[in-house]
Amino acid sequence: MKPPENSPTPPFPIQLNTIHIGDALTYLPLLPDNSIQAIVADPPYFRVLNEPWDNQWQTFNDYLQWTLSWLNQAMRALRSDGLLFLFGQIGKREHGFLHVLSAATQLWKFHDLIIWDRVVGYNERRDSLTPAYELILLLRKNKPKFHKHALRIPYDPSTIARYLRDKRYKNPQARAAHLAAGKFATNILRIPSLKGSSREKCGHPTQKPLALIQALLLLATDPNDIVLDPFLGSGTTALAARNLGRFWLGFEIHPPYAQLALSRLNNSQPQSKFAHQNNLHFSPFPINLNPLQKT
Ligand SMILES: C[S@@+](CC[C@H](N)C(=O)[O-])C[C@H]1O[C@@H](n2cnc3c(N)ncnc32)[C@H](O)[C@@H]1O
């Protein structure tokens, strides 16, 4: 790992390692073209949750147009070897994300669709199987940086012993090294979602597990790369990036969530000595929450 220890934040039009309070659509246009290595976006889902920020749009088409406009800015700012991770959640019958998948992949290049297996079911319903996954669409520009080796799942000792006895492998040393490192992760990432009682849970209704976001960043970035989360929520992406020695940038429209993220960052021991300083920056622009328009 390249040590970013003591590395100064690079000159950038928006302050890095900072939570910027305000509308993502205000800040995204300020980002230079091809400047961000990875974008982790967990936006509102459209009427899946009973939260004001998930019910801001009158129609699904309004939501889709909004999605495509922020995605357009985000994809412009993404480096040509970067990846954008877009989270999508399907509600009880709400399936807006399926249309987002279709529209976005007609406009930008599809890289992959990860299933995040939440392990624990949610949104229980009587007439269907219990939902247990969320989707993460990966969009690319050109050939992305991708560290497949970064995510390995350990083999159990009996499997290792069985494979090592297998005479078909011509290079036993290479085989042993692979077995010791573990098998490559599949595009079904099985990481438990946060239960209410989880120590990690900090008060945001859709807080993502730190382990999941760290896994995505390990795959798509190196130390010192710049990571953006345009919908920062409780700051999971900022914390993951800080733990891994990446620069980060977060936008959050709701000031109490920005404060929550800041406290979380301040109260978490940096897991690496490469932690950078965190800042909370109040937007010079007026902070407007779109009025709640629930139908
Ligand atoms: C799904 S949550 C993100 C949760 C986050 N991944 C976490 O782990 O805590 C979406 C967040 O986007 C924020 N938000 C909604 N509209 C926004 C906008 N136009 N610009 C910036 N943030 C917005 C909401 O306040 C909410 O905190």
Q: What is the pLDDT along the chain (295 residues), one digit of tens a residue?
A: 343 444 567 788 898 999 999 999 999 999 999 999 999 999 999 998 889 999 999 999 999 999 999 999 999 999 999 999 999 988 888 899 999 999 999 999 999 999 999 998 888 888 999 999 999 999 999 999 999 999 988 888 898 999 888 888 888 888 888 898 888 999 999 999 998 889 999 999 999 999 999 999 999 999 999 999 999 999 999 999 999 999 999 999 999 999 999 999 988 876 544 444 555 555 444 333 333 333 2
Query: What pLDDT is stored for residue 57 in this prediction?
Result: 96
DSSP 53: G
Q: Does a structural domain hold residue 108? A: yes
Query: What pLDDT is stored for residue 121 in this prediction?
Result: 86
Cβ distance 238 to 218 under 8 Å? Answer: no
Query: What pLDDT is stored for residue 134 in this prediction?
Result: 96
Query: What pLDDT is stored for residue 295 in this prediction?
Result: 28
| Sign of the four-CA dihedral 212, 218, 219, 224 | positive
Q: Distance, CA 26 to ligand 1 centroid (Å)? A: 14
Query: What pLDDT is stored for residue 286 in this prediction?
Result: 38
Residues 6 or more apart in contact with residue 16 via CB below 8 angstroms? 9, 10, 226, 247, 248, 249, 276
Indicate the burial class of 33 (C-beta count within 10 angstroms; 0-12, 13-18, 19 or more).
exposed
Query: What pLDDT is stored for residue 94 in this prediction?
Result: 85
- Alpha carbon nearest to ligand 1 atom 3, residue: 233
pTM score: 0.90
Domain count, the chain: 2
Shared domain for 180 and 222, answered yes or no, is: no
Shared domain for 138 and 154, answered yes or no, is: no
Q: Distance, CA 41 to ligand 1 centroid (Å)? A: 9
Shared domain for 131 and 213, answered yes or no, is: yes
**CB of 254 closer than 6 angstroms to any ligand 1 atom:** yes
Shared domain for 194 and 65, answered yes or no, is: yes
Range(s) of the domain holding residue 250:
18-145+187-282
Q: Distance, CA 171 to ligand 1 centroid (Å)? A: 49
| Gap between the Cα atoms of 57 and 63, Å rounded | 6
Query: What pLDDT is stored for residue 11 in this prediction?
Result: 82
**CB of 141 closer than 6 angstroms to any ligand 1 atom:** no
Shared domain for 229 and 268, answered yes or no, is: yes
**The ligand 1 atom nearest the CA atom of 45:** 1
| Gap between the Cα atoms of 283 and 20, Å rounded | 6
Q: Tokens for 238? A: 């900022």
CA-nearest of 213, 233, 205 to 123 is: 205
Shared domain for 226 and 275, answered yes or no, is: yes
CA-nearest of 144, 152, 283 to 225 is: 144
Shared domain for 157 and 124, answered yes or no, is: no
Q: In what order do the strands lie in the sheet with 226-229?
A: 188-190, 109-117, 133-140, 78-88, 36-41, 226-229, 247-252, 18-21, 279-282
